């Protein structure tokens, strides 16, 4: 079972009114046009998960505190926008960390920066421009631009 399917089932339990199997399947069909989770693509599963999280109050950590650094907030905002448009294969914090590490890797620092919160303004600029370019390419492939 994929991690996304597990997350869908876990989040479903937090949403009132989806306990009944027929109601659950109607919700799935209304959300992505499929009545079975197993028949869904990964993008459809993520769409279901995002919809469930929105109905459950977001399922965000209560300890979340935005970074005081504007350049870090910009990185998170772009990543979140790409996640909402279903442009990411791995829309998790770990996926963002991997992207940041790849974008900031240099000869002097072969592993790059390990977390977006540790970005300098110069490193953040590289990451921001990389995310913007990725977003443009992905939207162009979808025909949205």
Q: In this predicted structure, what is the pLDDT of residue 144?
A: 58
Specify if 38 maps to a domain.
yes
Specify if 65 maps to a domain.
no
Domain span at residue 133? 70-142
Note whether 83 and 128 are same-domain residues.
yes
Residue whose pair of structure tokens reads 């989040």 in the numeric block: 11
- The pair of three-digit structure tokens given for residue 85, joined into one six-digit string: 């448009």
Q: In this predicted structure, what is the pLDDT of residue 75?
A: 93
Q: How far apart are CA 56 and CA 99, in angstroms?
A: 29
Note whether 98 and 133 are same-domain residues.
yes
Q: How far apart are CA 90 and CA 55, in angstroms?
A: 22
Specify if 138 maps to a domain.
yes
DSSP 93-142: HHHHHHHHHHHH--SSSTT--S-GGG--HHHHHHHHHHHHHHHHHHHHHH
Q: How far apart are CA 58 and CA 51, in angstroms?
A: 9
Residue whose pair of structure tokens reads 């592993």 in the numeric block: 111
pLDDT tens figures, 16-57: 778 888 888 888 998 999 999 999 999 899 899 888 888 776
Q: In this predicted structure, what is the pLDDT of residue 59?
A: 46
pLDDT at 9 over 90: no
- Lowest mean pLDDT segment, chosen from 47-51, 120-124, 141-145: 141-145
pTM for this structure?
A: 0.56
Q: Are 49 and 102 in contact (CB under 8 A)?
A: no
Q: How far apart are CA 145 and CA 136, in angstroms?
A: 8
pLDDT at 61 over 50: no
Note whether 107 and 48 are same-domain residues.
no
Work out the widest C-alpha separation in the chain, in whole angstroms.
57
- In degrees and rounded to multiples of 5, residue 55 shows phi and psi of -75, -25
Residue whose pair of structure tokens reads 């910009």 in the numeric block: 74
Note whether 74 and 50 are same-domain residues.
no
Specify if 136 maps to a domain.
yes
Residue whose pair of structure tokens reads 């991997």 in the numeric block: 98
């Amino acid at each position: 079972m994929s991690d996304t399917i597990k997350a869908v089932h876990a989040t479903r339990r937090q949403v009132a009114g989806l306990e009944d199997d027929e109601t659950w399947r109607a919700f799935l069909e209304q959300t992505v046009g499929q009545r079975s989770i197993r028949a869904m693509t990964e993008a459809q599963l993520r769409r279901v998960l995002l919809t469930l999280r929105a109905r459950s109050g977001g399922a965000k950590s209560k300890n979340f505190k935005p970074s005081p650094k504007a350049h870090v907030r910009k990185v998170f905002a772009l990543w979140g926008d790409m996640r909402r448009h279903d442009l990411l294969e791995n829309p998790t914090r770990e996926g963002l960390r991997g992207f940041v590490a790849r974008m900031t890797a240099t000869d002097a620092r072969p592993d790059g920066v390990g977390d977006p919160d540790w970005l300098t303004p110069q490193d953040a600029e590289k990451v921001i421009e990389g995310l913007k370019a990725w977003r443009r390419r992905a939207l162009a492939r979808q025909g949205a631009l």
